[in-house]
Amino acid sequence: MLHAPLPQRTVRAVDRLAQRAHAFHRFAHHPLCARYAGELIPLGRRARLCRGCACSALGLVTGLLAAVCWQASFSVLLGVSALGLGVLLSSLALRLPKWLGRASAVACLGFVGLEGLLAKHGPPLFLAFGIVATSLAFVALYRKRGPNRGPCRTCPERLLSKPCSGLRPIVRRERAFRRLAQRWLDAAALSGHSAVKE
């Protein structure tokens, strides 16, 4: 049985609809309830950012700008890298404030990494490669540890059969997206099927 391909217009419309449907929580990375409000940064009326990711991004930009503006000695680079790695590794065991565990650590490591790469040779370059390798290992360990689900463990909604209040807006939006996208896809397939028959 032959099926006509979906029109590109329909494919693009469904893609745009998916982007709009998930825009308000795409960068939240946490449930949207009051218990996780401290983990989120509200943007406008509906969009939210993960506080940890935002602090990491801010720290990285700060570190890179500092590396461009200031050329440090190798001993300073060693000290800054030790500080950054110490804070970063301690955040695997402790729940540090985001500005400390993420922003300051990533700023230190971004600074040392770019300084080493700009040096192009010698110990600073080897230090930069070491920082990059250690950072990748940290990311793997951090992902293995998983997100902080502390508030969920004590939440009275955790035993309900329906989605909790933190996930309910996401589920509602996903269901609405699927209904509308399915209507568009069915209409496009029906019109394509009629064209094939003719």
pLDDT 10s digits, 81-95? 889 888 887 877 777
Helix H segments across 45-121? 51-69, 74-93, 98, 105-119
Distance CA 122, CA 99 (A): 32
pTM: 0.72
Q: Give just the sign of the alpha carbon dihedral 31, 34, 38, 43.
A: positive
Distance CA 181, CA 132 (A): 42
Distance CA 196, CA 4 (A): 7
Distance CA 147, CA 110 (A): 23
Kindly state the greatest CA–CA separation across the chain.
78
pLDDT classification of 64: cutoffs 50, 70, 90: very high
Give the 3-state DSSP-derived string for 133-192, with helices as H, strands as E and coil as C.
Answer: HHHHHHHHHHHHHCCCCHHHHHCHHHHCCCCCCCCHHHHHHHHHHHHHHHHHHHHHHHHH
pLDDT tens column, 108-133: 989 988 888 888 778 888 888 888 88
